[in-house]
Amino acid sequence: MPSNVFRFDESWDIPEATPQEVWDVLSDAELLPLWWGDVYKQVVPLDKKGKGVVGSRAKARARGALPYELNFIIEAAELEPGRLVVVKTFGDFDGLWRAELSPSGNGTRVNLIWQVTVLRPILKFLAPLLR
């Protein structure tokens, strides 16, 4: 894998929420700053397609552990209510975020895969150090 490509695999257990309830949140890009506020600072819709619609796009501004912001477009690529959310990203990094949802006990299990290619020059330069 090239040094500017990153893959993150993780699982979340969300108690007392059905897969459909979790899907309703994950498929709405505008809600990202509410539940992932440490990273997403602002998300603004770019079209009037609405929530949970394949092809809908939003502009995102995010900030992680590094001391600068990332700007990118989020596009809903594949949506299966209660089961799957796939999002493409374009901008400072290009990638694919995939969340598969399934019932788990009294809640929902979310299996995530996020693979991104870092495009911003400073990020490409720092990529080997960030591994």
What is the Cα–Cα distance from 40 to 21, expressed in whole angstroms? 21
Choose between 48 and 126: higher pLDDT. Answer: 48
Q: Is the pLDDT of residue 129 over 70?
A: no
Global pTM?
0.84
Q: Is the pLDDT of residue 78 over 50?
A: yes
Choose between 35 and 20: higher pLDDT. Answer: 20
Number of domains in the chain: 1
**Region class of 24: left (phi > 0), else alpha (psi between -120 and 50), else beta:** alpha
- CATH of residue 97: 3.30.530.20
Domain of 19?
9-125
Please indicate, yes or no, if residue 4 is contained in any of the structural domains: no
Choose between 47 and 64: higher pLDDT. Answer: 47
- Kindly indicate the confidence band of residue 120, based on its pLDDT and cuts at 50, 70 and 90: low
